Amino acid sequence: MCSDMLVAGGSVTLMSRCPTAGCLRLIQSRARISPPHVTTGKLVQNGMEKKAVICIEGNIASGKTTCLKYFEKTSNVKVLTEPISKWRNVRGHNPLALMYQDPERWGITLQTYVQLTMLDTHLSAMTAPIRMIERSIFSAKYIFVENLFRSGKMPEVDYAVLSEWFDWITTNISIPVDLIVYLQTSPQTCHERLKQRCREEEKVIPLEYLESVHQLYEDWLIKRNSSPLPAPVLVIPADHDPQKMLQQFEENREKILAASYR
Ligand code: TTP
Ligand code: MG
C-alpha cells in the first residue's frame, strides 16, 4: 500500500491509496477490451515518457473551471473542461434542464450521457505530458448518480443499469488518474456562487442539494468510507475569494504538477 503526504493551504493531510483502488488498477491492467485510442490515455507512452492525469473535483460552483483556467497557461499542461455544453444540448435536447425539472424521469437520461461524455474525455488523445480534467467519470457515478439514488429520486432499476454500465467500463477499460485535487468548500459558499452566476438550469438547486453533494464528496475523498479512490488526493480549501484562490493555486502549483513525476 503506497502512501502520500500532501500539504495544502497550510494544513497537512496524510493520504494513501486505498487497497480497493489497488484492486481496481489490477483489474484494469487485465483489460480485455482496448479500443485503439485507449492507449493514448496511458501513463507510460513509448516505453519511457511519463504522462500524468489530474482530476479537479469539488461541489457545484466550487471553482473547478477557475482552477483549470489558471493552469491552462502552464506549458506542458493540457486542460479539458467539462462537456457541460453537450449536457445542455444533445441534438437539440437539454438533458441537464430536464433532470432538474424531473429527476425521477430524466436522471438516468442525463447520467447516461454524462458517463459517455466523461469516458470520451478520459480516452481522448494525450496531447501534452500533463492533462487536467474537470471532474471524472468516477465522481459522476460516486457523487451524482449516488445522490439521485439515495435521495429517492432515481428508481432502483435505473440505478442498477447505470451501475452495470459503470462497472463494465471500469473493469474493461483502463482509466488512469494520478492525482485528485479536491476543492473543498462549504455548501453555503457554493450556494452563494450559484446564485451569483445564475446558470438558467441551476436556478432550482436548493442548499440541501449542495449539502448532499458535499457529504458524498467528504465520504469519498476525506473519510474514505464509501467508494474506491482511483488516486491520491490533494485537498485545497476553496471558500476564499477569487484573488486568494489564485494565490492558493500558485502555492500548490508544484504539488499538483508533481503528479507527473510520481
Ligand atoms: P459541475 O460539474 O459542478 O460544474 P461547474 O462548472 O458548475 O463547477 P465549477 O463552478 O466548480 O467549475 O456541474 C455542472 C452541472 O452539471 C451542475 O448543475 C451539476 C450537473 N451535473 C449532474 O447533474 N450530474 C453529473 O454527473 C455531473 C458531473 C454534473
Ligand atoms: Mg465548471
Residue 38 CB-density burial (10 A; 0-12 exposed, 13-18 middle, 19+ buried) = middle
Q: How far is the CA of 163 from the centre of ligand 1 (A)?
A: 20
Is 42 domain-assigned?
Answer: yes
Q: Residue 25 CA to chain centroid, in angstroms?
A: 17
Distance CA 85, CA 225 (A): 33
Domain annotation covers residue 12 = no
With a 6 Å cutoff on the Cβ, whether 62 touches ligand 1 is yes
Share of the chain above pLDDT 70, in %: 80
CATH number at residue 185: 3.40.50.300
Domain span at 74:
32-261
Eight-class DSSP state of 218: I
**Residue 64 domain-assigned (yes or no):** yes
Please indicate whether residue 144, judged by its CB atom, sits closer than 6 Å to ligand 1: yes
Q: Is residue 1 part of a domain?
A: no
83 is written with which cell numbers?
462537456
Binding residues for ATP: 58-66, 193-197
Task: For residues 155-167, give the mean pLDDT.
Answer: 98
Ligand 1 atom with the smallest distance to the CA of 115 is: 26
Tell me the pLDDT of the chain averaged across its residues.
84
Q: Which residue has the higher pLDDT, 257 or 38?
A: 257
**pLDDT for 186-204, tens place per residue?**
999 999 999 998 889 999 9
Grid coordinates given for 144: 451524482
**Is 68 part of a structural domain of the chain?**
yes
Residue 60 domain-assigned? yes
In the reported structure, the alpha carbon of residue 23 is separated from the centroid of ligand 2 by a whole-number distance in angstroms of 31
* CA separation for the pair 22, 28 (Å, rounded): 10
| Cα 71 to ligand 1 centroid, rounded to whole Å | 19
Examine residue 25 and state whether it is found in any structural domain, yes or no.
no
Q: Is the pLDDT of residue 152 over 50?
A: yes
d(CA 227, CA 49): 31
Counting ligand 1 atoms within 8 A of each CB, the residue from 56, 59, 60, 165 with the most, and so the one to mutate, is: 60
pLDDT number for residue 198: 84
Asked whether residue 38 is domain-assigned, the answer is yes
Average pLDDT, integer, range 84-106: 97
pLDDT of residue 82: 82
Task: Copy the grid coordinates of residue 189.
Answer: 459558499
Decide: 57 in ligand 1 pocket, CB within 6 A.
no
Q: What is the DSSP string of 131-172?
A: EEEES-HHHIIIIIIHHHHHTT-S-HHHHHHHHHHHHHHHHH
Amino acid at 105: R
pLDDT at residue 44 tops 70: no
Number of domains in the chain: 1
DSSP H helices, the chain, are 19-29, 64-72, 84-88, 95-101, 103-123, 137-139, 146-150, 156-172, 187-197, 207-217, 242-251, 253-257
Ligand 1 atom nearest residue 145's Cα: 26
Whether the per-residue pLDDT at 248 is higher than 70: the answer is yes
Whole-number pLDDT of residue 261 = 62
